[in-house]
Amino acid sequence: MVKKMVLVSGMSGAGKSTAMSILEDLGYHCIDQFPVELMPELVNLLRTTDNSRYDEVAISTSLSDFSRIHDALENAGIPLRNLVLKAADDQLVTRYKFTRHTHPMIVEGEEGSLDKAIRKERKILESLPQYRNTIYLDTGDLTYQDLKRQMDNTFSLTVNHDLSITFESFGYKYGIPKDADFLFDARVLPNPYWVPELRHYTGDDPGVYAYVMDAEVTKEYMKRLTGFLDYIFETYENRGRSHIMIAIGCTGGKHRSLSVVNYLMNYYGKRYLCYKAAHHPDPEAKQL
């Protein structure tokens, strides 16, 4: 039986073909625009096959057929995650004019103009049930790299999605985040604030990051920190915990703590679904 399946749908022109290409690169066996009439045969194959080719499968479908295909797969007990793509009407119009493609509803004779076809699809999108395990992604302002990064984080076959982790940087002078499960103090690390040429940058800058992370005290700090977090994440995962918040603090929240957060995102991002956040309750503080 198939081990993982992604069902991709959404507005025509919102990027289904691109998303399927990314999933194929991630190792999924991809089936584009599968006809809903053949679902009984596909479901039987996915439930009974021992062919490793079908261990991870991605199917794309139109919004019109999405619910029928979703229900058939879910009722068959197939492990399913949904990706629904959308974009604003004007952005979809621009994409169609740029690519000179014809909207599927015009090709099939359902609508006579692009505007009407887009409006009809949006009504279908808005009427969809709120399915569980569904990600709704607005691609209007996303570049290809943005979309690929988000899909890599969400659907990578090498990442454990049973536990997600948020790494949050914060400044002690603004207060401690109340939603943190664990809090670590990075004020013992070298402070780039006292280096004039680094003061006005953040831990996202290579110079600041290198100044903090290349120090011997930081290397020892990270060795001990990741050893502890390895134990915590494994323990929480075994207990069925689905999410954990790790807060890293320094004085202002943008040099040392952000450098450590960036290190942890890279270190754990290959194993878990990781998110990056910044805690700045002070209204005058710049958001990272």
At 160 the pLDDT is: 65
Q: Smallest Cα–Cα separation from 126: which of 86, 76, 92?
A: 86
Confirm whether pTM is higher than 0.85. Answer: no
∠ CA 96-98-103, rounded to 5°: 15
At 194 the pLDDT is: 94
The span from the CA of 218 to the CA of 62, in Å, is 51
What are the structure tokens assigned to 130, written together? 């709120």
- Give yes or no for a contact between 211 and 240, defined as CB atoms under 8 angstroms apart: no
Query: Integer distance in angstroms from the first to the last C-alpha of the chain?
Result: 44
Q: How far is CA 28 from CA 15, 33, 37, in A?
A: 17, 15, 23
What are the structure tokens assigned to 256, written together? 């040392």
Alpha helices by DSSP H, listed for 15-164, are: 16-26, 39-48, 63-75, 89-99, 104-107, 114-127, 144-155
pLDDT in tens, the chain (288 residues): 778 899 999 998 899 999 999 999 888 999 998 888 899 999 999 888 888 888 899 999 999 899 999 999 989 888 899 999 998 988 888 888 787 678 877 876 777 788 888 988 899 999 888 888 888 899 988 888 888 888 887 888 776 667 889 999 999 999 998 889 999 999 999 999 999 999 999 999 999 999 999 999 999 999 999 999 999 998 988 787 778 999 999 999 999 999 999 999 989 987 888 888 887 654 443 333
Residue type, 61: T
Q: Smallest Cα–Cα separation from 90: which of 16, 140, 142?
A: 140
Residues 6 or more apart whose Cβ sits within 8 Å of residue 128: 63, 66, 67, 84
What value does the CA radius of gyration of the chain take, rounded to a whole number of Å? 23
Q: How far is CA 237 from CA 92, 161, 269, in A?
A: 41, 10, 15
DSSP string, 33-64: S--GGGHHHHHHHHHH---GGGSEEEEE--HH
Range 4-155 classified under CATH 3.40.50.300: yes
Q: Delimit the domains of the chain by residue range.
A: 4-155, 161-279
